[in-house]
Structures are given as C-alpha cells and as structure tokens.
Amino acid sequence: MEVFDYDKIRATLLKGPRVTSLLNHFENIAAGISQAPTQSIYAASDFLSKSNEYREYHTVFQRNIGTFYKHLCASIPFFIEEQCRIGVALQRLAKHRLKDEKNPFTYYETSSADGTNARTLAEYSQGMIRTLTDSPNPANAENFHKLCQHSYSDIYMGPFVDITPEYISARNDRPDLKYGFDVIYENTTFQMYHPNRKAQIAYVKRLLKSDGLMIFCEKLINPVRDEYERREHLKDNLFKAHYFTKADIDQKVSQILEEMEQCQVTLDELVDSISYHFKYAYMIWNSTNFYELVASNDRSNLEKFISFLGEHYVPAPFLCEEVLVKPLL
C-alpha cells in the first residue's frame, strides 16, 4: 500500500491552475463581471413533473442559486436536473441512515463555488444534513453569506487543500463535522488542479467516514479526440448557445478550458484511481463529456444510495452512454 505524503500533495496542488493562472478568471465569473448567462436557467418541466420532491427541491435550489452556480448550470447540459436528483437521493439516504442515530448526516462539497447545492441540501432536509463547502474566491463567499438563510451550512474561504482532519477537528463551532463526512462530493474540482487522481483522492478521503460515499463529478478526456470534440460541439452549440453569446463561449475555451484539459483524466484513469481507495463504484450520470461516479468501501450503503436515485434526465443527443447506472468496481 502506497504511503502518501500529504504535505507534498498539498504543495503540488497549490501550484494548480485553479489557484494560480485561473484564479482571477473565476473571481470575475463569481462576481458577475464575465461569463454571465443571458437568461435564467431552470430544470425542464417534464423532469420536475416526475416528482413532488424534485419540484420542492428545485424551488429551494432556485432560492439559493448564486452567481457562479448560474454560470455552472448554464455550462453543463442538464446539470441542474442532476443536482436535484442527487439532492433528493441524499435526503432519502440521510433519512434512512438517521432512523437510529442522533447525529446529523454530514456532507462536504469540494470547491463548490457559492455552495448552492450544499445550502439547498441542508435547507431542504431542514437541518438533517449539515454541509461544508469551500472556495478560494471572495465573491463566492460573499454570495454564500448573502443567500444562506439557515445555520446548517458553512463555507471556508480558501482552497480545498485547507480542509484537513486537523481543520475539522478544530472547528468547535461545528461539532457535527468533527468525526468526518457521510458524503463527499467532488464538484468538478480535481480537474482544475492536477491530473494525479490517486493522490487527490487520498488527500480528501481522510475526511470521509469509513462507510461513507464519495461522489466524483468530473469532465473527462475521451481517448478518442474526435469523440471528445464531438461532445464539446454538442454542449456548446445545442445547450450553451441558449445561455451564452458565441464570444463568451469562445473566450472560455481560450481562457479556461484549454488549460483545464491538462488536468483532466480519462474514465478508465479515474476508475483505476478510485479502485486504489475503494472496493465498490458505480457510474450514475453522464452528459456529453461530464460524468458522475460514486464509490464506497461499504457495499450496503452504496447500494442503498443507488436504490434512492431516481431516473436520470439527460435527453439525446447529450447522453453518450448506452447503459448509465452501472457498477464499475
């Protein structure tokens, strides 16, 4: 078993694009100075009609949505629907898990901008779920505090590498977090720092309870370059074009996406890194080049979560996997 040098991992990640060359670009997005959608984004009505829970969650989500998260949901096809699907499933899991427990269900979302979905999850569950998020951009923290209407969520202003076992154990004002997290959601974070997923997972997994779930939401490189580009064109021309000008789309490619690609990995590479740390994993979502995977060392807990997941909502041609929800490990 490899021994990880966490100080070395931290030092490497602090040289990553997200907190160096891209930091100001993300601050401008968070402040609404650049890359702002031209219209509001809402979940599709035929998705919301599937469940009262989805409608209720979506209402809370819209009340909590911050400036950066508007940009994010307008950039990833049908991500807002997936946030509702994941949020409702996690609330169901928390309710199931807490039948015989007194401690709240805990959730950490890495570098999740203004923390829209974490705040929504805490509010929707009425405090059953306590959440922590982080961002290295002051504008995201300002949005968080402006929009948060409860005491069940918190944000750390700084990079995700600052969230360590020592950090949470010292948070006497947040005692629910001291024992780690039931769920960690990696929200398109690792791809902004470095391609070494094995080390990144090792760094964050220290915060996860032994039976916890880790969800990975990432934009992945396709080993077939033409297929990767085909999916990018679908995203840009059939989805993002509804929310951004062509100039904004082109600018993001040149300012952010080209650099971000250097830190992306393939699906096989991500699964291989996950397999080093977890016994079980599922693919649970895909939209163009974006994927969600969930992993755990507790098969029962993982399968219970899978059972709580509603049907995915990604219409053709954005769904690129023939079988979506499937075991990978």
> Is pLDDT at 257 greater than 80 in this prediction?
no
Residue 267 confidence class, pLDDT cut points 50, 70, 90:
very high
Q: In 3-state terms, what secondary structure has residue 13?
A: helix
Confidence (pLDDT) at 33: 97
In terms of pLDDT, which residue wins out, 259 or 10?
10
pLDDT, mean of residues 162-171? 97
pLDDT, mean of residues 36-46? 97
pLDDT, mean of residues 216-222? 98
pLDDT, one tens digit per residue, over 289-303 is: 999 999 999 999 999
> Is pLDDT at 314 greater than 80 in this prediction?
yes
Residue 15 confidence class, pLDDT cut points 50, 70, 90:
very high
Residue type, 118: A
Confidence (pLDDT) at 259: 82
Segment 168-175 long-range contacts (CB within 8 Å, at least 24 positions apart): 168/132, 168/207, 174/130, 174/132
Helix (H), strand (E), coil (C) string for 23-78: HHHHHHHHCCCCCCCCCCCCCCHHHHCCCHHHHHHHHHHHHHCCHHHHHHHHHCCC
Separation CA 177–CA 273 (nearest Å): 26
Residue 158 confidence class, pLDDT cut points 50, 70, 90:
very high
Residue 34 confidence class, pLDDT cut points 50, 70, 90:
very high
pLDDT, one tens digit per residue, over 169-196 is: 999 999 999 999 999 999 999 999 999 9
> Is pLDDT at 12 greater than 80 in this prediction?
yes
- Between the CA of residue 7 and those of 12, 80, 180, 199, what are the distances in Å? 9, 35, 20, 11
pLDDT, one tens digit per residue, over 62-82 is: 999 999 999 999 999 999 999
Separation CA 155–CA 165 (nearest Å): 16
pLDDT, one tens digit per residue, over 45-63 is: 999 999 999 999 999 999 9
Q: In 3-state terms, what secondary structure has residue 136?
A: coil
Confidence (pLDDT) at 189: 98
% of the chain exceeding 70 in pLDDT: 99
> Is pLDDT at 269 greater than 90 in this prediction?
yes
Confidence (pLDDT) at 98: 84
> Is pLDDT at 255 greater than 80 in this prediction?
no
What is the chain's mean pLDDT, rounded? 96
> Is pLDDT at 252 greater than 90 in this prediction?
no
**Entry field: residues in the chain:** 329
> Is pLDDT at 1 greater than 90 in this prediction?
no
- Between the CA of residue 54 and those of 82, 119, 124, 187, what are the distances in Å? 10, 16, 11, 20
Separation CA 227–CA 225 (nearest Å): 5
For the entire predicted model, the pTM comes to 0.97
